[in-house]
Amino acid sequence: GALWVGTRAAGLLRVDGGEATPAVGVDGEVTALARTADGALWAGTPDGLCWRPPDDGAAAPAPRFVCRS
């Protein structure tokens, strides 16, 4: 499975198979990460919260998040 890594300056990265893919919509500092029981992923930033629905099994070229301040 993939490993999600929050950074101080490069946003949120999904590391899978030794390759890091930046998440679309999560820029800058990531201060918190949480996964819900259904598999959704939340990322906290100084600007607000970002959310990604549970994986549907499809390989997306770049993980997309919806962010709100």
Q: How far apart are CA 67 and CA 22, in angstroms?
A: 15
Model pLDDT for residues 7-63, shown as the tens digit of each residue: 999 999 999 999 999 998 898 999 999 999 998 999 999 999 999 988 755 555 667
Give me the pLDDT at residue 55, please. 73
The edge-to-edge listing of strands for the beta sheet with 12-16 is: 3-6, 12-16, 19-22
Give me the pLDDT at residue 69, please. 81
